[in-house]
Structure 1
Amino acid sequence: MDEVKERFFIKNDDEADWAFEKLAEYKHQSEQLESRRDEFVAKYQQKIDDWYNPQSTSVQDQINYFQGLIEEYRLTKPDGKVNVPSGKTSVRTTKKFIKDENALLAYVESNHPEFIENTSKVKWGDFKKTLKPVNGKAVDENGEIVEGITTQEETKVTYKPNMTVIGLPESEVSDEN
C-alpha cells in the first residue's frame, strides 16, 4: 500500500521560526540562481553577438551594394522605374509637414478655432486622496457616491525572513508574493 504523508502545519513560534529559516535559505538559493543566470546570459549574449554581427554586417553590405547598382540603373530609366522578372522598383513621394507648435496654435486659434481641442483630465492622484471606499463604492468628502468608480479589497502579504540570523546576506530582491 502507498504511504500517505500528512501535510505539515506550523503549530507554534519555534516551528514558524524554523519555517522562516528555510524560507531564507531558499530565497538565497533563488537569488544565487538568478545571478548565475544573468552571468550566463551576458556571456552567451556576447558570443551570439560576436557570431552574428560580422555575418549581419557582411550580408547588409551586399544588400547595400546590389541596391546601389539597381538604383544607379533606375536613375537612367526615363520613367525612373525598373520592372524585370526578378523584381521591380517603386517610387513613392510623400509630403511631410514640419510644425512649430506655438506658431501653429496661435494661427489656428485665430483663424480656424473649430480645429482646437480642449482636453479634460481628472487629477487622479489628488482626487483619490479625497475618496473613501464604502461597500464596493467610492464616496467623496461630501458623502456622495462617485460614479464611474468601484472599489475592491486587496490583501498583499509580504514574507521577509531575517537572512542574517542564519548567516546569509540580506536579500536585495522583492519579498512580495
Structure 2
Amino acid sequence: MAEETQRIESEDELYKKMFRRRKLLEEQKADDKQRQNELDETASWYEPAREARQNELGYIDSLIDDWFLRQYEKNPYYRYRSRNGSVSKRSITTWKHDDAKLLENIPDKYIDVKPKVKWGDYKKTLDITDDGKVIDKETGELVDGVTASKSIKVTIKSPEGED
C-alpha cells in the first residue's frame, strides 16, 4: 500500500496507529499459526508416504541388484536398457593404505615434499592378488600397509529428469 508520508500530530492519532499496529501483529500471528498448522498437516501425510516410497524403492533396487549380479555371473558383459531406465555395472577397487608404513618402503618419487604419499600415482604401480594383498609391479615384492578388495557397484538410472 503506497501511503504518502504522514506524521502523527496528536495522541489520538498515536492511539489509532498503535491500535492498527497491534491488529497487524495479531493478523500476522494468526497467519503464521495457520501456515504452521498447514505445514504440519502436509507433513503428516507427506512424510509417511515419502518413507513408504523410499522403502519400496530400496526393496526394488535390491531385487534389481540381485537380478543383475546373477546375470553378470553368466555373462560379464550383461547390460540392460529400456525406456524405463538402464542397469549396468562399474568395477570398484577399495584401497586401504597406511601412509606411515608406505613412507618407509616406497621410492622417493611417490612422496610429496611434506612427506605424503602420492597415492594416485603410486597405486598405478601395484597389482592385487586374489587374497587382497598388494604387490609392487616393478619389484615383485609384497607391499606392507596396503590391501585391496574388488566389488561390483550396480548403477540404476531412470529416464532423463526422473531421479
TM-score, length-scaled by structure 1 = 0.43
Which protein has the bigger strand share?
2
